[in-house]
Structure 1
Amino acid sequence: MPARDLPLLIEAARAAGEIATRYSGKLARRWDKPEGAGPVTEADIAVNDMLAAMLPSARPGYGWLSEETEDDGARLNHDRLFIVDPIDGTRSFADGKRTWAHSIAVAEHGRITAAVIYLPLLDRLFAAAEGQGATLNAVPIATSQPAGLSTAEILATRPNLEPTHWRDGHVPAFARAYRPSLAYRLALVAQGRFDGMLTLRPSWEWDIAAGDLILREARGRCTDRHGAALRFNNSHPTVEGVIAAGPLVHRALSEALEPDDAVIPGTPPDPPAP
Structure 2
Amino acid sequence: MSDPIPPEAAHALVPALRETIREAAALALPFYKAGGQTGARVWSKAGGSPVTEADVAVDTFLKVRLSAMLPRAAWLSEETSDNPVRLDAGLVWIVDPIDGTRAFMSGHPDWSIAVALLSAGQPVLGFVHAPVTDTFYEAIAGAGATRNGQTITVSGQRAVEGARVTGPKPMMDRLARGAGTNGQQAELVYVERVPSLALRVARVAEGSIDVGLVSPHARDWDLAGADLILREAGGTVSDLQGRPTTYNRPDPVHGELVAVSQTLRNDVVAALAPR
- Fold in common (TM above 0.5): yes
Q: Report the secondary structure of 2:47's partner residue.
A: helix
CA spacing shift, 1:224–1:255, aligned 2, 3 Å? same
The residue aligned with 2:22 is 14
Structure 1 residue 240: deviation in Å? Answer: 2.7
Q: Deviations over 1:194-224 (max 9, x none)?
A: 1111124132000000110000111112222
Structure 1 residue 76: deviation in Å? Answer: 1.1
Q: Deviations over 1:117-171 (max 9, x none)?
A: 0011101000000011000010101100113111101121113235499759986
Code of the aligned partner of 1:240 = G
Q: Which runs of 5+ in 1 are unaligned?
A: 261-274
**Among 162, 165, 187, the residue aligned to 1:173:** 187
Tell me if 1:30 matches 2:42: yes
Structure 1 residue 33: deviation in Å? Answer: 1.1
CA spacing shift, 1:101–1:228, aligned 2, 3 Å? same
Whether the 8 Å CA contact 2:96–2:222 is kept in 1: the answer is yes
Q: Report the secondary structure of 1:148's partner residue.
A: coil
1:116-265 correspondence to structure 2 within 5 Å: 116-161=127-172, 163=174, 172-177=186-191, 178-258=193-273
Whether the 8 Å CA contact 1:106–1:113 is kept in 2: the answer is yes
Q: Report the secondary structure of 1:11's partner residue.
A: helix
Deviating more after overlay: 39-48 vs 22-31: 22-31
Whether the 8 Å CA contact 2:176–2:188 is kept in 1: the answer is no
Deviating more after overlay: 27-36 vs 111-120: 27-36
Aligned residues: 259
Q: Percent identity?
A: 34
TM-score by length of 2: 0.88
The residue aligned with 1:87 is 98
Q: Which runs of 5+ in 2 are unaligned?
A: 1-8
CA spacing shift, 1:164–1:180, aligned 2, 3 Å? closer
The residue aligned with 2:123 is 112
Code of the aligned partner of 1:257 = L
CA spacing shift, 1:7–1:224, aligned 2, 3 Å? farther
Structure 1 residue 35: deviation in Å? Answer: 1.8
The residue aligned with 2:6 is none
Whether the 8 Å CA contact 2:174–2:271 is kept in 1: the answer is no
Q: What is the rounded CA distance, in whole Å, between the counterparts of 1:81 and 1:48 in structure 2?
A: 15
1:49-68 correspondence to structure 2 within 5 Å: 49-68=60-79
Q: What is the rounded CA distance, in whole Å, between the counterparts of 1:117 and 1:239 in structure 2?
A: 19
Whether the 8 Å CA contact 2:174–2:272 is kept in 1: the answer is no
Code of the aligned partner of 1:61 = R
Q: What is the rounded CA distance, in whole Å, between the counterparts of 2:215 and 2:144 in structure 1?
A: 27
Whether the 8 Å CA contact 2:147–2:206 is kept in 1: the answer is yes
The residue aligned with 2:5 is none
**Among 71, 83, 89, the residue aligned to 2:82:** 71
The residue aligned with 1:265 is none
Q: What is the rounded CA distance, in whole Å, between the counterparts of 2:12 and 2:176 in structure 1?
A: 41
The residue aligned with 1:269 is none
Whether the 8 Å CA contact 1:226–1:259 is kept in 2: the answer is no
Deviating more after overlay: 126-135 vs 240-249: 240-249
